[in-house]
Amino acid sequence: MTETIEAPAALRQINHWIGGRPVAGQSGRKGPVFNPAAGRQTAEVDFATPEDVDRAVQAARAAFATWREVSLAKRAEIFFRIRELVHERREEVARILTSEHGKVLSDALGEVTRGLEVIEFCCGLPTLLKSEYSEQASTGIDVYSIRQPLGVVAGITPFNFPAMVPMWMWAPAIACGNTFVLKPSEKDPSASNWTAELLKEAGLPDGVFNVVHGDKIAVDAVLEHPDVAAVSFVGSTPIARYVYETATKNGKRCQALGGAKNHMIVLPDADIDMAADAAVSAAYGSAGERCMAVSMLVAVGSVADPLIEAIKERIPKVKVGDGMDPASEMGPLITREHRDKVASYLEDGDVVVDGRENCPDEGFFLAPSLIDNLEPGMRAYDDEIFGPVLGVTRVDTYDEAVRLVNDSPWGNGTAIFTRDGGVARRFQFEAGAGMVGVNVPIPVPVAYYSFGGWKGSLFGDRHIYGPEGIDFYTRGKVVTSRWPDPATSKVDLGFPQTR
C-alpha cells in the first residue's frame, strides 16, 4: 500500500464526498497522488478513519429511505441525464485519468466509453427490474415475484480503471434503488470526485452516491460496518480473497474480482500478422496494466519463430511517452515502485526485447518487453506482472496449450487464434476461464452480458454488471395474494396446496 507522507502545502487537496458535498478527512492522514509521466507528486488525498466511513454510510442510509421510493420513470430520467453528461464531458474525465494514471488519452477515452455502455444499459432499468406474475396460481390466488434493493452498498476499486470499474458498480447499484459508498484506489482518486459532482448535476439526490478515500483502514471500516449490505470489489487476488472472506464473515453479500494471467494461444494455422497485431495491442496497451491484458503467449508448434519475429518487428514502433501527447501510444506505469517491480521480471527466460532500454528519462516508464521460453515454475510465468512484459511459452500441441490455461490459478480471460472453427469451438468448451476470445485478444463482454473470471479471478457467485449485476444488487421477494371472496373463505390447518 502507498505510505502516508508529509507534503508541501501547495499540493491540490482531494477530499471525501459525503451527502452531496466535499468533506475534509478528520484524521490528518493523507496519501500522495503522482503524475506518473513526470514522476512528480501533484496532489494529496485524505485517508478516511472509521468515523469518516461511518459518516458516509449514514448519509447513504438516510438517502436510501427516499431513493428507493423514487419511481422507475424518474430514476430512468436521471440515468438518461447522467448518460448525456458523461458523454459530453468524456474528454474532461479522460484528461483526469491520464494525469493520474498515466494511460494515453485515446485509451482513457476508451475506458470512459466502455463505462458509458454500462450506464446506457442501466437507462433500461424499468425493463431490467420487471418480474414474473402467475394469475390464478391457486383458485383466487395470484403469485408474483419482485426484486428490491439491498440498502447501502459499497464498491472498492483498483487503480487501473479509475472511472470505468466504479461505473460497473455504482450504475447498476443506484439504478436498482440502492445507495452507494465508493472507496476508490488512493493512487488515482480524482475521477471519483469528478463523478460525484456530475451525478449531483444530473439530479441524483444528495447521499445516494458518496466517496471515501483511503487505504486498508477505510476498507476494513466498510467491510465491518453493520449498515453496509453488500460489497463489490475489484483488485488483486490476495486482497479480493481477504475482502470476500471478511465481508461474508460480517454477513454481507460480496463479489470480489481478483487478478489475472491471461493466456493467448496461437495455433500454427493462425494468420501471423493478425495474431502479432493482437498480441502487441493486448500486451502493451495501457502499459499492460489491464486485468484482461494478454500476458502469456502460448505458441503451438511451428508458429513460435515467425510469431516472435513479427512481434519483435512491431515493438520498436510503439511510441512510449506522456499520455497527454496525442502521438503517444503507451504511457508510464502507476508508481516508481511498481515500475521497478515489473522491470525485475526481466531476469527469467530469454529476454528478446528489454524495455529498460530506450525509456523516457523522467517518469515511471518501462518500454514494451518480450521474454521467450518461459515455463511454469519461473517467477515471470507464475506471477501476475501487471506491466508491459509479454511472456512466450512454446508447446507442441493444442492439448498442452489448453492444459496451461486450465492449470493456471487464475481464470479471467483467455483467447485462441486459429482459422479452424472446429478447434475454436472445442476451446470455447474446454477453456477454464470466465471470458473467452476467438481471434479476439481482450474479450471484455459488452454491457448486456456480465464480466467475471473463474478460480482466483473471482470470489463470489455473481459476475459484475449486465444481468448478473442487477441480480447482485437486488434481492427477490415472492408475494402470494388473495383478495377477499367470502364464498371461498374457511379455516384449513393443512399445509397450503394449490387447488
Q: Which residues lie near ligand NAD (CB under 6 A)?
A: 1, 156-161, 165, 183, 185-186, 215-216, 219, 234-236, 239, 257-260, 291, 384, 386, 412, 453, 457
Q: How far is CA 287 from CA 67, 283, 295, 366, 464, in A?
A: 40, 8, 11, 8, 24
Residue 225: how many other CB atoms lie within 10 Å: 22
C-beta separation of 443 from 398 below 8 A: no
Q: Which is nearer to ligand NAD, 234 or 395 (CB)?
A: 234
Q: How far is the CB of 474 from ligand NAD (least distance, A)?
A: 21
Rounded Cα distance between 266 and 113, Å, is 29
Rounded Cα distance between 157 and 166, Å, is 6
Q: Which is nearer to ligand NAD, 181 or 300 (CB)?
A: 181
Q: How far is CA 451 from CA 86, 131, 181, 241, 393, in A?
A: 22, 23, 21, 18, 27
Q: Which is nearer to ligand NAD, 64 or 451 (CB)?
A: 451
Q: How far is CA 362 from CA 159, 295, 296, 336, in A?
A: 21, 26, 29, 11
Q: Which is nearer to ligand NAD, 334 or 424 (CB)?
A: 334
CA–CA–CA angle 456, 461, 464 (5° rounding): 85
Radius of gyration for the alpha carbons in the chain, expressed in angstroms and rounded:
25
Question: Which residue sits closest to ligand NAD, CB atoms considered?
Answer: 235
List, as one string, the DSSP characters of 179-204: EEEEE--SSS-HHHHHHHHHHHHTTP
Is residue 123 among the annotated active site residues? no
C-alpha cell at 488: 371461498
Strand-pair partners of 256: 233, 459
Q: Which is nearer to ligand NAD, 255 or 418 (CB)?
A: 255
Q: How far is the CB of 143 from ligand NAD (least distance, A)?
A: 38
Q: How far is the CB of 259 from ligand NAD (least distance, A)?
A: 3
Q: Which is nearer to ligand NAD, 126 or 238 (CB)?
A: 238
Q: How far is the CB of 178 from ligand NAD (least distance, A)?
A: 20
- Tell which residue, 36, 47, 49, 43, has the closest CA to residue 9: 43
Burial of 28 (0-12, 13-18, 19+ CB in 10 A): exposed
Q: How far is the CB of 405 from ligand NAD (least distance, A)?
A: 16
Q: Which is nearer to ligand NAD, 130 or 216 (CB)?
A: 216
Backbone angles phi, psi at 210, to 5 degrees: -130, 155
Q: How far is the CB of 36 from ligand NAD (least distance, A)?
A: 13
C-beta separation of 146 from 494 below 8 A: no
Q: How far is the CB of 287 from ligand NAD (least distance, A)?
A: 12
Q: Which of 122, 123, 291, 359 is catalytic?
A: 291
Backbone angles phi, psi at 68, to 5 degrees: -70, -20
Residues that are catalytic: 291
